[in-house]
Structure 1
Amino acid sequence: MPLTVLSRSQLRELLHALSRDDVVALQRNLADALRDYSSGSQEKGCSAAYQPQRTAITRQNGCTTLFMPASTGQTIGIKMISLQDGAKAGCAIERDIVDTQEKEQIISRRRGSFRNSVASLSSDMSDLSVGSSQGDKEDSNSVSPVTTTNDSSTTASSTDGSTLLSGCVNQQNVTSNVSKTLGAWPGAGARDTSPRGSVTLLDGESLPFALINAHELTAFRTALASLLMFNKRKKVRTLLVFGAGTQAYWHIRLALVLRGEDIRRVYIVNRSFERAAELLREIYKSENTEWRRDVKFSAMSTDFGEYARILKAHVRKADAIFCCTPSPEPLFPAEYLTTGEGRQKGRLICAIGSYKAHMAEIHPDILRDEVSVQPPHRHWHKHITRSGVIVVDSLDAAMKEAGEIIQAEIKPKQVVELGELLMVRDATRNAETVDEEKSLHEWSRRGNVIYKSVGLGLMDLVTGGDLVRLARERKLGTTVEDF
């Protein structure tokens, strides 16, 4: 059985050579997998029912390794990433931290049939209204997408999104004072926040056929998922990116590959200006001219004079905001978007950097404001109505790991999976009435959309498998013929 090995440099070479058509094809396959993940169908190999829980082990040297298994029905795989987090030795597995009522809501969503899930979401979207004193002009529309009632009587929250159950393989007892990250992330003060590890892929007969370096793959597949909503946006002239690492790079690059003709400005904000300058130097390399086009880039750091004033202007001006930092506190004040001026336009906000319960790139008040919807009515002034939901990659994982969602006390019924939206989109294409399709279409194009990603092993498995196929076709990587 031949084994294809893609090192970090080899994978980077492959990714940099991808055409727009290649990226679109990879994104389409990932979208199909996320749709199947959310379907709840036992016939779908990518369904959440077939995705095992992750587990983590901390060794004596304080290094924590996270194991993320996944299955597509045709292939299986596991992602292993490690970092120093200073925890005591032991093993940890996930434990549910939501209350019984919330758990039942999640199970119900998973158990529901495809048609019932679609009907429920379509019904939520049926009250979308578009009104304006200026007719149907784009910037004057009031878009009210998915609406969900906020039931304050069920507001029970957990303050620790990484609660663990002590235990280990073969039922061996270990200390209960094990790593509470379950994400293999470094502790405070650590310099390197990039995980190190690999993704192993096995075929239908459980024989390994690929080994991929996880660093570049993680950033690339995360950006692919974030940009599924970005593709549908009506206006993407101005992008604001927080962070200057690998995640930021791939969000910028793929955004320009997919929508470069529509983008005019990209603002980069990072704590270290030198790190931001390094990212700009990478972007401005001569070999990147084709996808960079004539887009104007600028960078700033927190030590800039009048930083708050400039940041506020950037946030208000942005059509799409990508948050790609492991920040323990919000990157900008909530009032930038929750006051009247901040609500005058719809934005896509993607938060993919935070990974612990105490972290929050987006201020929790922004999420609370988004889900606190009012009865549908027409606005005769320039104003975007709040959506009522937060979009996530995984409902189960987001309720356990997403700091913004935990701190804002968002409930399961106020969360919609990206895969569920794709289900509705596909189902309404052939619907007898176009009302549901129009509602989803208008919101995805011009409404306010907040997307929170915590990552899934399924993403690595699907995108990694596609990249291995491309690598073999293009004679890239290292092949071990008789593994």
Structure 2
Amino acid sequence: MPLTILSQAQLRALLLSLTKDEIVSLQENLARSLQDYSTGNQENGCSSAYQPQRTAITRRNGCTTLFMPASTGLTLGMKMISLQDGGTAGCAVAAGVDLPEVDKALLRSRGPRSSMASVSSEASEMSMSSQEEGEAGSSTTSSSTPSLPSGCVNKLPVNTGISGTMGAWPGAGSRDTSPQGSVTLLDGESLPFGLINAHELTPFRTALTSMMVFNKRKRVRTIVVFGAGKQAYWHIRLALVLRSAEIKRVFIINRSFERAAQLLRDIYAPENSSWRGDVKFSAVSNDFGEYTRVIHDAIHKADAIFCCTPSIEPLFPARLITAGEGRRKGRLISAIGSYKPHMTELDPDILREEINISHSHRHFHKHVKRSGVVVVDSLDAALKEAGEIIQAEVQPNQVVELGELLMVRHAGRDLTQEDSDSKSLREWVERGNVIYKSVGLGLMDLVTGGDLVQLARLRKIGTTVEDF
């Protein structure tokens, strides 16, 4: 059995060479696996019943290493990644939370039609705001907040005056926090066929998954990205590759001026012109004097918000989403950076507002109604590891897995005539408030990694050991 080895540089070269059609193909294959994961059907090799528990150890130096085994029924995988997060030394098995049996039966054996009943019933009452108004009219603060010019960091053009200020504000957000490690892939006979550096694979497969909901959104003119590392880069790149014609503005927000500037310089490199297009980019750090006003304007204009940081405190105030003007439009909010109970990129009040389905007598004109659920990649893992979910005290019946959502969407396409529940669900996914929280699955690395190994072999990329 030949073994294909992909180093960090080799994998990055492969990922940068992917066409839109190849990215879509990778995404569709991963989506099918996530659907199988959520069905609970043990005839499907990707089912959660076949996914072993992950284990974490933290060494005395504060470095946490995750061991993430996975299975598709045909292949096996083990991902080992380490992160410097200052944890307490020890070992923990990330077992699923102790859900009541009735909840497990409901969440693991329900059919596609009933699995999203709570979402459909809430979505049917949504009063959608007009999503076709111009960008200038989407926020009443836009007239009072100075607009950032295209390609700038803290109001400085990206190609002038930057180098002299690099490193002026070192510290938080100034280093690459992407996990280091590898993914080992085995075939049905447990023979290794792939060994991949995980430094680039992890952010790529995470962004590939986030784009599954992003692809369904009707309006994606303005995007806000928190972070300036590889997760931020791949979320921006895949969003533009998949929907560049519709995206007009991207805000990059990071604690470090230097890293925000570097990410913008990377995006403006000549070789990226094909996917960058005519999108206007602006980047800002917390040290910027007008930071509060800029982030207020950016959040209110945002159609999609991607949080890509290992933050232990909310990245922006909840009121920008939950109060007054913030309620006038639906947004996709994807939080993928935090992975421990004490971490939280989103204020728990944002999640509480979303899951609170008690009906008030107060009428909000043109305000988007709440769905009553938070979308996650894995129910068990999110309830145990996701700080936002835990701190907001989100209950199992207020969570729906992405695979379940994809199943219902697929079932709806097969109907000759869309019923009211399917229509309400579609409107919520396309225009409503959708909060997606991801903590990552070894299954994602196994499926996407296996596909990338096949592409690498076709393109003669990587190192192959013929008789390993």
TM-score > 0.5, shorter chain as reference: yes
Alignment partner, residue 213 of structure 1:
197
Alignment partner, residue 208 of structure 2:
224
Alignment partner, residue 78 of structure 2:
78
Letter aligned with residue 388 of structure 1: G
1:383, CA displacement in angstroms? Answer: 1.1
Contact 1:105 1:413 in 2 (8 A): no
Alignment partner, residue 16 of structure 1:
16
Alignment partner, residue 435 of structure 2:
450
1:241–1:190 Cα change, 3 Å = closer
Distance 1:265 1:138 in 2: 16
1:126, CA displacement in angstroms? Answer: 4.1
Is 1:263 the counterpart of 2:247? The answer is yes
For each residue in 1:140-193, what CA deviation from the matched residue of structure 2 results, as whole angstroms up to 9, or x when unmatched?
A: 9xxxxxxxxxxxxxxxxxxxxxxxxxxxxxxxxxxxxxxxxxxxxxxx999552
Letter aligned with residue 269 of structure 1: I
Distance 1:388 1:88 in 2: 35
Match of 2:366 among 354, 358, 382: 382
1:423–1:479 Cα change, 3 Å = same
RMSD over aligned Cα atoms: 2.4
1:94, CA displacement in angstroms? Answer: 2.7
More displaced, 359-368 or 52-61? 52-61
Is 1:475 the counterpart of 2:460? The answer is yes
Distance 1:371 1:88 in 2: 32
Contact 1:240 1:268 in 2 (8 A): yes
Alignment partner, residue 145 of structure 1:
none
1:6, CA displacement in angstroms? Answer: 0.4
For each residue in 1:58-95, what CA deviation from the matched residue of structure 2 results, as whole angstroms up to 9, or x when unmatched?
A: 45766543210000111010001124556676543235
Alignment partner, residue 336 of structure 1:
320
1:268, CA displacement in angstroms? Answer: 0.4
Secondary structure class of the residue paired with 1:328: coil
1:359, CA displacement in angstroms? Answer: 1.1
Is 1:291 the counterpart of 2:275? The answer is yes
Contact 2:119 2:425 in 1 (8 A): no
Contact 2:4 2:465 in 1 (8 A): yes
Distance 1:430 1:424 in 2: 10
Letter aligned with residue 475 of structure 1: K
1:417–1:86 Cα change, 3 Å = closer
More displaced, 192-201 or 393-402? 192-201
**TM-score (ref. length: structure 2):** 0.86
Alignment partner, residue 288 of structure 2:
304
Matches within 5 A, 1:322-401: 322-375=306-359, 381-401=365-385
More displaced, 59-68 or 295-304? 59-68
Q: For structure 1, which runs of at least 5 residues remain unmatched after alignment? A: 141-187
1:318–1:432 Cα change, 3 Å = same
Distance 1:401 1:46 in 2: 21
Matches within 5 A, 1:132-143: 138=131
**TM-score (ref. length: structure 1):** 0.84
Q: For structure 2, which runs of at least 5 residues remain unmatched after alignment? A: 134-171
Alignment partner, residue 101 of structure 2:
104
Letter aligned with residue 125 of structure 1: S
Secondary structure class of the residue paired with 2:67: strand
Letter aligned with residue 443 of structure 1: W
For each residue in 1:340-395, what CA deviation from the matched residue of structure 2 results, as whole angstroms up to 9, or x when unmatched?
A: 21000000000001111111111000100011124499968321111111000000
Distance 1:401 1:5 in 2: 31
Is 1:46 the counterpart of 2:41? The answer is no
Letter aligned with residue 407 of structure 2: M
Match of 2:394 among 410, 421, 439: 410
Distance 1:428 1:109 in 2: 20
Distance 2:263 2:355 in 1: 35
Alignment partner, residue 261 of structure 2:
277
Contact 2:64 2:82 in 1 (8 A): yes
1:441, CA displacement in angstroms? Answer: 1.3
1:64–1:327 Cα change, 3 Å = closer
1:291–1:205 Cα change, 3 Å = same
1:346–1:195 Cα change, 3 Å = same
Secondary structure class of the residue paired with 1:239: strand
